Amino acid sequence: MGLQVFWFIAIAVLWTGFFVLEGFDFGVGMLHSVIGKDDAERRALINTIGPFWDGNEVWLITAGAAIFAAFPPWYATMFSGLYLAMVLLLVALIGRGVSFEFRGKRESDRWRRGWGLALTFGSLLAPFLIGVALADLLHGLPIDANQEYTGTFWDLLSPYSIFAGLTFVSLCLLHGATFLSLKTTGDLSDRAHRIARTQTLATGIAVLIFGIWTQVTIHHGAFPDLLSTAAVLAIFGAGWLLSDRREGWAFTMTTFAMGATVLSIFIDLYPNVMVSSTNAAYNLTVTNASSSPYALKVMTVVAVIFLPIVLIYQAWTYHVFRKRIGTSDFEPAAEPAAH
């Protein structure tokens, strides 16, 4: 296996890791004011992802940087082509990122509502835009012989890519609701559980349609590939497990569904990294867009050493904060040292 292929896989894994991890904290962000009825409840919900979200987001940064290092033209064409979408994504991630730290720092309703909105809409917009972007890679964008994007902002929004964005939002909602039903107690857990169960149907259908649409888009017939099919089955499996309140296993299923959906995009994309809708000869591929063998070798050594270490300490973090969180931890009276 060549290093170009290795790095294509590594990047697919980084994106998968990003969606699997940050996916549920996007979901929690979107749902925190739907499930949480008062401030104590909302704080409890936000604190389920408190120790994790920042580390989860680094998967996105590293995925972007890995594309830059391993496939510079891919990074250059994609990020400049998606310019305004990138600006929106950054605004969403910035608003959401600071909302975690800022929200609790003042005892004002307006302040907290404001940051709550930033959290909700940032968490909604980010997976939507990234979903659109990943679908665009596969669906094709107007790219010329110089690997320059020649379209406008609206060319990024094909029906297929918009549907992909919505599918990812739906997956994040399911993943987040399942996570919350697993990580909270009492009423909160019940409400999250109900939302997760309703959400399985919508998400299952969305992923199924997306799987079929993808195959049609790349002219591979009208049947979803193996991974998408498995994702759909996992989602319905999650619904069944949820009805038994086996939340840990349900979360395993939504994790699998999320990962399989992201991976299926990259599998269908290979050996291209960006499809040109102008002319197939202008496609960016793992061979014509890659860095030199030496650069890839250096990067491989670094990744092989550090990625397992990252996985170990992130897994340890999840182990340390494995306890369920209840509203009682955040009632005003029981809160002397928190801000």
Q: How far apart are CA 92 and CA 86, in angstroms?
A: 10
By CB under 8 A, residue 145 contacts another protein: no
Q: Is 273 helix (H, G, I), strand (E, B) or coil?
A: strand
Q: Show contacts with another protein in window 152-191 (CB under 8 A).
A: none
Among 4, 16, 33, 62, binds another protein (CB under 8 A): 62
Site for another protein in 19-58 (CB under 8 A): 43, 46-47, 50-55, 57-58
Query: Which is closer to another protein, CB of 9 or CB of 86?
Result: 86
Q: Which of 18, 26, 128, 149 binds another protein (CB under 8 A)?
A: 149
Do 129 and 75 form a contact (C-beta atoms < 8 A)? no
Applying CB under 8 A, the site for another protein has a residue count of 76
For residues 9 and 307, which CB has a smaller minimum distance to another protein in the complex? Answer: 307
Binder to another protein among 87, 117, 201, 280 (CB under 8 A)? 87
Q: Kindly state the smallest distance separating residue 277's Cβ from another protein, in Å.
A: 15
CB-nearer residue toward another protein: 59 or 266: 59
Q: Which is nearer to another protein, 81 or 239 (CB)?
A: 81
Q: Looking at residues 260 to 289 of the shown chain, list those that interact with another protein (rule: CB under 8 A).
A: none
DSSP state of 220: S
The answer to whether 295 contacts another protein (rule: CB under 8 A) is yes
Which of 6, 34, 79, 194 binds another protein (CB under 8 A)? It is 79
| CB of 104 or CB of 131, closer to another protein | 104
69 near another protein, rule: CB under 8 A: yes
Nearer to another protein, 146 or 159 (CB): 146
Q: Which two tokens stand for residue 321?
A: 């904060």
User: Shortest gap between Cβ of 175 and another protein (angstroms)?
Assistant: 19
Q: Which is closer to another protein, CB of 217 or CB of 291?
A: 291
Cα–Cα separations (whole angstroms), residue 139 to 14, 176, 253, 276, 283? 21, 28, 28, 9, 11
Which of the ranges 87-95, 209-217, 227-235, 241-249 carries the binding residues for another protein, by CB under 8 A? 87-95
Q: Is 202 in the site for another protein (CB under 8 A)?
A: no
Please name every residue paired with 272 in a beta bridge, in sequence order, or none if there are none.
285
Q: Is 339 in the site for another protein (CB under 8 A)?
A: yes
Alpha helices in the chain (DSSP H): 3-35, 39-49, 53-70, 72-81, 83-103, 109-139, 159-183, 186-217, 226-243, 247-269, 293-320
List the Cα angle 297/302/303 in 5-degree steps. 95
| Structure tokens belonging to residue 26 | 């996007």
285, containing H or E segment = strand 284-285
Interior/surface letters 173-189, b for 16+ CB within 10 angstroms, e for the rest: bbbbbbbbbbbbeeebb
Structure token digits, residue 294: 């030496």
The answer to whether 201 contacts another protein (rule: CB under 8 A) is no
Q: Residues 175, 56: contact at Cβ < 8 Å?
A: no
Q: Is the CB of residue 106 less than 8 Å from the CB of residue 135? A: no
Among residues 35, 93, 129, 257, the one that binds another protein under rule CB under 8 A: 93
> Whole-number minimum distance, CB 330 to another protein, in Å?
8
